[in-house]
Chain A
């Protein structure tokens, strides 16, 4: 067992929590604890993952209600201490609603719920979450599954995000070129994932946990979780 302990936050309506735990616990052998949204003590955890799903039925806006869960106070403290937090899909939406990441995720440009595998460029390979890709090059193939994943920020925010190198992943074509045609949902600047200024909090619409086992067709997402072990193990 690695010394790194993962926590996976579970809200009413989360539906990717077990997929994440399968990767961290069963594939990587890390101690992993499911954290119910009413819990407040998460000090035993090194790494927090907020999984995908439809927390609180996406009422009002995706992630809007989840931000007031008791556990989110503790997640904010965890993040403010510089510890790693990853929000996937609905988890990304929650991180923007709670203010840990800038911008918002809104209705896809073409209104469809999109469920497909997309190509991503990795713009930052130096983060806790992306160091597993440090020596790799090229694009990764990871599935997306969302109706509200179009990244939006106002002009000033966007300029700041780009200037601070806070874009972590962009939608691209299979050869790695970022084109309008490879943007599935209308996200500004083809943004698929970003980090905070400090780099410890990452949010992404694609699902790396669904690309972490050869049985599912791709292992391109595994390094998101495995790369972290090198440092803290």
Chain B
């Protein structure tokens, strides 16, 4: 029987890639008086649900999705969390 999983995918710029938008936002925070803010980086958050036989299969598929489309690994890294979705409440609970 398959299980529904929710994936929360975080795509971030690789450390070697300059993030001018992040730098601009960081300087905005500094101007607002939030001193001590550093290394601000802006990334993307993607959320999806997927039907899979088990967690390993879900994880493998999300990896493939990230490699092929969700992230451009020349410039971005990704990581994701998986949660089991309760079929009765549609709420995600920890896997």
Instruction: Point out residues on A near B: beta carbons under 8 Å.
Output: 60-61, 64, 68, 96-97, 102-104, 106-111, 152-155, 157, 186
Contacts and interface: CB of A to CB of B under 8 A. Distances in A.
15 contacts: A60-B70, A64-B69, A68-B69, A102-B74, A104-B74, A106-B17, A106-B75, A107-B20, A108-B20, A110-B20, A111-B24, A152-B74, A154-B74, A157-B74, A186-B20
Interface string B58-87: 000000000001101011000000000000
Interface of B: 14, 16-21, 24, 69-70, 72, 74-75
A103 B74 contact: yes
A111 B20 contact: yes
Nearest to A103: B74
Chain B CB within 10 Å, residue with most, of A64, A68, A96, A107: A107
A57 to B, nearest CB: 15
A153 B74 contact: yes
B74 A109 contact: no
B20 A109 contact: yes
Nearest to B16: A154
Contact of B72 (A64, A68, A107, A157): A64
B72 A97 contact: yes
B70 A104 contact: no
B72 A104 contact: yes
Contacts of A109: 18, 20
B20 A60 contact: no
Nearest to A105: B75
A30 to B, nearest CB: 34
B18 A186 contact: yes
B19 to A, nearest CB: 8
B72 A61 contact: yes
Nearest to B19: A107
A186 B20 CA distance: 10
Given A96-B74, A97-B72, A154-B74, 20 more contacts: A60-B69, A60-B70, A61-B72, A68-B69, A102-B74, A103-B74, A104-B75, A106-B17, A106-B75, A107-B20, A108-B20, A109-B20, A111-B20, A152-B17, A152-B74, A153-B74, A154-B14, A157-B74, A186-B18, A186-B20
